[in-house]
C-alpha cells in the first residue's frame, strides 16, 4: 500500500485520522504525512520570518502532534510532519508524487477551516487522482459494508469500482443508489433506511475534476449529510 496524506489544522480530530491511518495500514510499513499549511509570513526581514514560523503553533496544537506521534509509535508506520508555506496545483502534485501518496484522509476541521490556504488545498486535492476519505462525525473502527451513491454522470459501474478499490480496502459494496441531479433531497429517507437496514458504515461516491473558484462556498453534499465517512474516488472525464 502507498503512503497516506493527512492535511491538518492540528485540531483534535487529526489524532482520529492518524489512528485510522494506522488501522488502514494493516501492519504494513508506510509513511503517514501530516501536512500543515500556512500563509507566508508578512515580514520584511528573514529573522522576523523565522520567528513567526517557529511560533506558529499553539500549545493545543503541539499536544495534538505529540498524541499523533504516540499513536504511530507502536506500529510499523512512520509519522512525518511537514509545514508548507503557500500552495499551487503543480506544487501539490509534485509533493504527492514525491511522498508517494495513495490515500488522502480529510478531517472535518480541515475541510471546514476558515484559513484561505486550507480551503484552497481542499479544492486542489479534489482534483487529484487518489482516493479521498472524508472522516465522519464519529471515529470509525474500520469499514465493512459500503453504499455506492452513483451519480447520473458517472460511468463507473459498481463491479468496476469494487475491483479498483479491492487492493487498498477490505470493505464490500453491498448496496447502491442512483442519484439524479436536483433530486438529492427526495432520496434522503430511502437512503437512511438502506443505511440502517444494511448496517452501512461507509458511503462511496465518485468525483470529477472541477474548475477551482476560491470565492465559491461549497454546500454540504448528499453523502456528507448522513454523518458517515465518505470515500471519494476520482473518475476521469471521458
Q: CB 173: neighbour CB atoms within 10 A?
A: 17
Grid cell locating 159: 463491479
**CA angle 33-36-37, nearest 5°?**
135
Mean pLDDT of all residues in the chain?
86
Domains of the chain: 3-134 (3.40.50.620), 145-234 (3.40.50)
DSSP string, 207-229: E------TTPPPPPPTGGGG-S-
Q: Per mean pLDDT, which of 10-14, 26-30, 194-198, 207-211 is the most reliable?
A: 10-14
Spatial strand order of the sheet with 172-179 comes to 78-85, 31-38, 3-8, 101-106, 132-134, 230-234, 202-207, 145-151, 172-179
DSSP 233: E
* Residue 19 CB contacts under 8 Å (≥ 6 apart), including other chains: 71, 139
φ/ψ of 93, rounded to 5, equals -60, -45
* Per-residue model confidence as pLDDT tens digits over 47-78: 655 665 565 688 999 999 999 999 999 899 99
Whether the per-residue pLDDT at 216 is higher than 60: the answer is no
Higher-scoring residue by pLDDT: 42, 195: 195
Q: Are strands 230-234 and 132-134 parallel, antiparallel or unpaired?
A: antiparallel
pLDDT more than 90, % of the chain: 50
CB distance 122 to 111 below 8 Å:
yes
> Residue 3: CA atoms inside 13 Å, Cβ hemisphere, count?
19
pLDDT band of 13, cuts 50, 70, 90 = very high
Residue 144 and residue 167: Cα distance in Å, rounded?
14
pLDDT more than 70, % of the chain: 83
Q: For the whole model, what pTM was predicted?
A: 0.89
Q: CB 153: neighbour CB atoms within 10 A?
A: 11
* Per-residue model confidence as pLDDT tens digits over 96-138: 999 999 999 999 999 999 999 999 999 999 999 999 999 876 6
Grid cell locating 124: 486542489
Grid cell locating 163: 475491483
pLDDT at 139: 58
Q: What is the mean pLDDT of residues 148-164?
A: 83
Residue closest to 145 by CA, chosen among 199, 207, 93:
199
Residue 12 and residue 67: Cα distance in Å, rounded?
9
> Across-strand partners of 213?
none
Amino acid at each position: 500500500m502507498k503512503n497516506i496524506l493527512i492535511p491538518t489544522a492540528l485540531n483534535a480530530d487529526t489524532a482520529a485520522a492518524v489512528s485510522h491511518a494506522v488501522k488502514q495500514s494493516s501492519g504494513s510499513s508506510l509513511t503517514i504525512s501530516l501536512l500543515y499549511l500556512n500563509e507566508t509570513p508578512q515580514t520584511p526581514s528573514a529573522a522576523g520570518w523565522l520567528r513567526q514560523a517557529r511560533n506558529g503553533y499553539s500549545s493545543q496544537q503541539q499536544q495534538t502532534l505529540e498524541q499523533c506521534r504516540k499513536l504511530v509509535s507502536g506500529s510499523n508506520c512512520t509519522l512525518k510532519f511537514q509545514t508548507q508555506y503557500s500552495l499551487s496545483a503543480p506544487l501539490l502534485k509534485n509533493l504527492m508524487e514525491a511522498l508517494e501518496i495513495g490515500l488522502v484522509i480529510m478531517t472535518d476541521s480541515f475541510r471546514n477551516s476558515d484559513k484561505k490556504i486550507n480551503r484552497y488545498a481542499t479544492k486542489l486535492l479534489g482534483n487529484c487522482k487518489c482516493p479521498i476519505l472524508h472522516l465522519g462525525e464519529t471515529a470509525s473502527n474500520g469499514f465493512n459494508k459500503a453504499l455506492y451513491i452513483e451519480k447520473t454522470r458517472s460511468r463507473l459501474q459498481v463491479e468496476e469500482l469494487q475491483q479498483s478499490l479491492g487492493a487498498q480496502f477490505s470493505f464490500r459494496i453491498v448496496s447502491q443508489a442512483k442519484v439524479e441531479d436536483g433530486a438529492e433531497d427526495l432520496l434522503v429517507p430511502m437512503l437512511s433506511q438502506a443505511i440502517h437496514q444494511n448496517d452501512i458504515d461507509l458511503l462511496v461516491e465518485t468525483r470529477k475534476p472541477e474548475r477551482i473558484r476560491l470565492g465559491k462556498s461549497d454546500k454540504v453534499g448528499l453523502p456528507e449529510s448522513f454523518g458517515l465517512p465518505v470515500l471519494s474516488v476520482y473518475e476521469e472525464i471521458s
